[in-house]
Structure 1
Amino acid sequence: MSNLLDSLIKKEKCISVTGLGYVGLPLALEFAKHFKVIGFDINQERIALMQKGIDPSKELESSAFEGCDITFTADVADLQLAHFHIIGVPTDIDSNKVPNLNPLLGATKSVASALKKGDVVVYESTVYPGCTEEDCLPILETISGLQGGIDFKYGYSPERIVPGDKVRTLTNILKIVSGSDNEALELIAAVYGTIIKAGLHKAESIKVAEAAKVIENTQRDINISLINELAIIFDKMDIDTKAVIEAAGTKWNFHKYQPGLVGGHCISVDPFYLIHKAKKIGIDPQVIAAGRRVNDFIPTFIAKRIVQSLIEQDKNPGKSRALVMGVTFKEDVSDIRNSKVVDLVRELMDYSIQVHVVDPHGNPNELAHEYGISLIDQPIGDYDVILLAVGHKEYIQMSVADFEKLSKDELYMFDIKGVLNAADYKNYWRL
């Protein structure tokens, strides 16, 4: 294995990264500052953009591509040129909230077709404990005709990328690494240690590393669900949840989570992987499932409060118009995957409310393709209610007068993210 490391350093052999999304692309480019890299993705259109130094996810500047020894390709045959393979494809859930491993298993088949004796395969995709060894390894062995742990090594190093965060970037986040045996672990640690400045944590097994990743977001999901449930209770009692959190936060051991829509491809997805695995081994998890139910209910709750507000204004919801500002899953990013704002928009439409959606970061074609929802270029005004759904910097910088210009009558502001100053508004609501 030390010979492989030497060959990588000397660029006699190279690294492949399969899956060039918000996880794989930054990783591939960072490695390409030190090693020879093959960046593989099945999406030819994305590859064409990256070959021009453009990040399709709009997370990286063109300067990130400079000085990188990397070849972008959609040709699976090019993977045969690599000896250290990294797989970082998305892992989502299907319509029944069951883990969708198709992209992961598909990527595994691609890498398996290129495996040679002495190669190493490392997974970064979020999975349930046991997935690497129970679901992926058999595919690697069957297609390659090689035996894992003997003919090739394998490991797991979960991604910890935070979309939109320009401070906690890839190299500044401590990295968990694990391997099929100690030799694999040390090699994987040495390769990642080349780029990770924050240090490494060597997990005692692949399952430990898998479990550590999946509970990171499960813990956050449960904590936010508690605050969301409290927000529902306090709203009924006419108590400002944000004020309660600020007051409680004066104690040193209180954790100040905020209520809100819990979407995206991590926090709202990962718990289902753990739930799935738990049920397979005969355990029906209660707390994790309850947290998911509460957070998934929030779009419905908000929609009902908006309808209630319209009725209190003596307005017919079916003849009312709402402006939803922001539809991406978090502020200042273009990613719309599993955005709960979409759920909120659909809930409002179910009440026959006419909904207009704007977002300076969202891609209209992606939104229409994925959700059948149209983005308008600019608000047209005369809205009965305005929803600040995502705290994009463009919206936070708007004044009360700016919002009033968009309102039909008296301004009714629903600040879903709780980023505005409540005292500035006569009719204001937040979770």
Structure 2
Amino acid sequence: MGVRDSSKAAIYDNEYIDSVFAELRVAVIGLGYVGLPLTVAFGCHRDVIGFDLDSIRIDELQGGFDSTGEVSGHDLRGCVHATFTNDSSFLADRNCYIVAVPTPITEHKKPDLDPLVKATELIGTFLNDGDIVIYESTVYPGVTDEVCAPILNRLSGLRYESDDLPADKNLKEKGGRFFCGYSPERINPGDKTHRLADVVKVTSGSTVFISEVIDRLYKQIVTAGTHKAQSIKIAEAAKVIENSQRDLNIALTNEIAIICDKLGIDTHSVLNAAATKWNFTKYVPGLVGGHCIGVDPYYLTFKAEELGYSPQVLLAGRALNDRMSDYLASKIISIMECGSIVIAESKVLVMGATFKENCPDTRNSKVFKLVDDLKSKGISIEIYDPYVKPETFIGDNDKYSFINVPKESHYDAVVIAVAHLEFVDLGIQRIKRFGKPYAKIFDIKSAFPANETDFRL
């Protein structure tokens, strides 16, 4: 059953909305950090297809294991209505597609929409009259209407139904129509407190009626509630500014940390004092990587520049955060030299390689840039991360030396780069035992008291 009536008047027909909602046959495209929790959540309530091209990923999910650590084996086995597959023929009988694929940037720091385009092209071959396509991937404002909808239109021959576009912009009609929606993902990898169901979900649709249907769909799995944006473009903009704001705040804090270091005072003592004022928002300094905060601002600045506006603050914050690994490498080398350590003959243990604590994701982790900077000075680096298995590390295994267990009394310096709970539980005294008697300890994430280390950011 497709959507027969999408008029504004239809939103007052609760019986009709209920019937459309009940007959939605959902497919989630992409089973990473975003798509898998969605599939599992819907799979507890309704029939859902979880689709991913990666056959290894499908095998592990079918076996009840999630290598990202976002979903437990118990929850995977409990979503009895979910089917995981890499066979696209399973998508043929679906009428509601949710796209949750990565949207990275190119080496020139421009949006890379290739995964999104390929997912859209796949859906376009199955699209039928009345079907709905919802995007969750981070994009710049306008991508759904201006990039994705035309692809769906071209491949399906159906008209894109949208209240926000003039009639002559709704694309060609060949006997049917489709609808789009945008509901930006808000998954925080490794966070066991702010889960999918616990975070308010922004929703939107290409027509008033479809926005109601989409909102109803997400309310089924999000107990925290939903927020209906007035348009798809507003929802897209809301998503991209969330992480841009966080990026800027961390950039400010990183700059404060550099200034505090030059003043010879502890950054966190300053932040704690300032945080006693009711309207001061506390952020902590550190390396900013990953596939969200270090990427999303470039989507917004790309669109701004396309429209003839040259953003200043956003790019300045990005540049500062990107340079933090250079600053830290310089600081580490300087302190080691002051301790009469011969840099070119030194061995350093780097604890943590992921882009954030308590998750196995190494994508765009700035720890590797820090390692590269240190290695360029002749330092021998070993990396220890309990979340990253040396044999399964996706990267340059010849370039980076991962170890399963650090050696005791072996290193001239130890760099705590990621504040994994395992490192915190290990304790600073146990960590110090990895170093030689004169070893320097660097705590980039300020996981331990300032007086227990030689430097913390």
TM-score, normalised by the number of residues in structure 2: 0.91
Q: How does 1:386-425 map to 2 (within 5 A)?
A: 386-423=414-451, 425=452
Residues 326 and 354 (structure 1 numbering): CA distance in 2 closer, same or farther, change over 3 Å? Answer: same
2:140 is equivalent to residue 140 of structure 1? no
Tell me the equivalent position of 1:238. 264
Name the aligned partner's letter for residue 281 of structure 1: L
Shift of 1:100: 0.9
Shift of 1:44: 0.8
2:19 is equivalent to residue 6 of structure 1? yes
Q: Secondary structure of 1:251's match?
A: coil
Find the aligned partners of 2:143 and 2:18 in 1 and give their Cα distance: 27
CA contact (8 A) 1:326 1:392 kept: yes
Tell me the equivalent position of 2:325. 299
> Gaps (5+ residues) in structure 1?
none
Find the aligned partners of 1:6 and 1:339 in 2 and give their Cα distance: 46
Q: Secondary structure of 1:232's match?
A: helix
* RMSD of Structure 2 on Structure 1 (CA): 1.5
2:37 is equivalent to residue 26 of structure 1? yes
Q: How does 1:103-122 map to 2 (within 5 A)?
A: 103-122=115-134
Shift of 1:167: 1.6
2:80 is equivalent to residue 73 of structure 1? no
Q: Secondary structure of 1:81's match?
A: coil
Q: Secondary structure of 1:100's match?
A: coil
Q: How does 1:374-385 map to 2 (within 5 A)?
A: 374-381=401-408, 382-385=410-413
Find the aligned partners of 1:64 and 1:156 in 2 and give their Cα distance: 26
Shift of 1:409: 2.6
- Residues 239-266 of structure 1 show CA distances to partners (whole Å, capped at 9, x for unaligned) of 1111110111111111111100111111
Find the aligned partners of 1:147 and 1:370 in 2 and give their Cα distance: 46
Name the aligned partner's letter for residue 95 of structure 2: H
Find the aligned partners of 2:135 and 2:237 in 1 and give their Cα distance: 13
Name the aligned partner's letter for residue 419 of structure 2: G
Tell me the equivalent position of 1:338. 364
Find the aligned partners of 1:366 and 1:260 in 2 and give their Cα distance: 26
Find the aligned partners of 2:81 and 2:239 in 1 and give their Cα distance: 30
Q: How does 1:47-66 map to 2 (within 5 A)?
A: 47-65=58-76, 66=78
Shift of 1:7: 6.0
Name the aligned partner's letter for residue 277 of structure 1: K
> Gaps (5+ residues) in structure 2?
4-14, 162-175
Shift of 1:13: 5.3
Shift of 1:368: 4.9
CA contact (8 A) 1:225 1:294 kept: yes
Once the two structures are overlaid, the 10-residue window that deviates more, 61-70 or 247-256, is 61-70
Find the aligned partners of 1:5 and 1:120 in 2 and give their Cα distance: 16
Residues 240 and 362 (structure 1 numbering): CA distance in 2 closer, same or farther, change over 3 Å? Answer: same
Tell me the equivalent position of 1:214. 240
Tell me the equivalent position of 2:137. 125
2:85 is equivalent to residue 35 of structure 1? no
CA contact (8 A) 2:415 2:443 kept: yes
Tell me the equivalent position of 2:102. 90
2:229 is equivalent to residue 203 of structure 1? yes
Tell me the equivalent position of 1:351. 377
Find the aligned partners of 1:13 and 1:256 in 2 and give their Cα distance: 43
TM-score, normalised by the number of residues in structure 1: 0.96
CA contact (8 A) 1:120 1:152 kept: yes
